[in-house]
Copies of this chain bind each other. A is one copy, B any other.
Amino acid sequence: MPIQHLSIVGTGLIGGSIALAVKQYISNCQISAYDSDPSAIEAALRLKAIDRSVPLAQIGAGADLTILCTPVGQFERVLREIAPTLSAGTILTDVGSTKRSITKLAAELLPPGVEFIASHPMAGSEKRGMDAAHADLFQRAVCMIMPKPTTPEVAAGLVEAFWTKLGMHVRRLLPEQHDQIVARISHLPQVMAMALTAIQSEETLAYAGKGFKDTTRIAGSSAPLWLDILKDNREEVLSALSLLREELDGFERHLIAGDEPALLQWLSTAAEKRRNVGLQT
């Protein structure tokens, strides 16, 4: 079942990149879109990323798949507004960085017969907006999707096929697993990149090399967007932060004691683990 009509809520970096990718990699698919910022929609129309602009209340009409690409903090408001307009048989997904709360909201708010299948494409940028969007943002990246035990396979399969066509490696898992995993592999690195930046002074920043710049690149991301994510995934982020503190305690203990074999072991284990990242995909 090919997707012939896609709807996108929010034509920022991710929504805009999805539109461009669909135009490049999926043939005969019409795209309707809504953004609360008229200039974002104008940019998407000008770049021929979308076919038409529609009001939020009509976003799901006739769409095989509707994708929520707004910041996590706006999900509840948007869901409440569009839920009554969605008809049975429609599939809804999202691209947010946290899953427990949206899954709960969707179960509460959506009418029967509307399938919500959460998605999290692990692709992005510290940049924002349609102007930073590009069709290959998703190539070779991982996308997590979270069908429920009751989700019909035809719906889960449609969402899986959609991300696969955009170049992604799709993996299925539970919302709770998702939130725990991303707290460690994504949310904590974000907090660390910001903390590492925060302790710098004008003097130290004058000596920033490629190492520092890469390590903290994501710190330049949108603060309001991250506020939403970190609040929503608070417990898991705090627990990932505890793990990191234990790791740092160990390192500090070895360094204070001048315990060379233990220090070397600590450094080697991490270096070896990092060198193996991505080798399996």
Contacts and interface: CB of A to CB of B under 8 A. Distances in A.
A231 B275 CA distance: 23
Contacts of A198: 247, 266, 269-270, 273
A124 B213 CA distance: 12
Contact of A212 (B144, B186, B209): B186
Contacts of A214: 214-215, 217-218
B192 A196 contact: yes
Interface in A156-187: 171, 181-182, 184-186
A194 B256 contact: no
Q: Is the interface of A mostly helix, strand, loop or mixed?
A: helix
B123 A191 contact: no
Given A199-B243, A220-B274, A212 B185 contact: yes
Nearest to A203: B181
Given A230-B263, A274-B216, A240 B184 contact: no
A105 interface: no
A132 interface: no
Copies of this subunit: 2
Contacts of A237: 255
25 contacts: A122-B207, A123-B209, A124-B210, A142-B209, A144-B207, A182-B207, A184-B200, A184-B204, A185-B205, A186-B207, A189-B211, A191-B251, A193-B215, A194-B274, A195-B270, A198-B266, A199-B247, A208-B277, A213-B277, A215-B218, A216-B277, A220-B274, A221-B271, A223-B271, A227-B264
Give the 7 A-B residue pairs with the shortest CB-CB distance, closest first. A122-B209, A194-B270, A223-B267, A219-B274, A223-B268, A220-B274, A195-B247
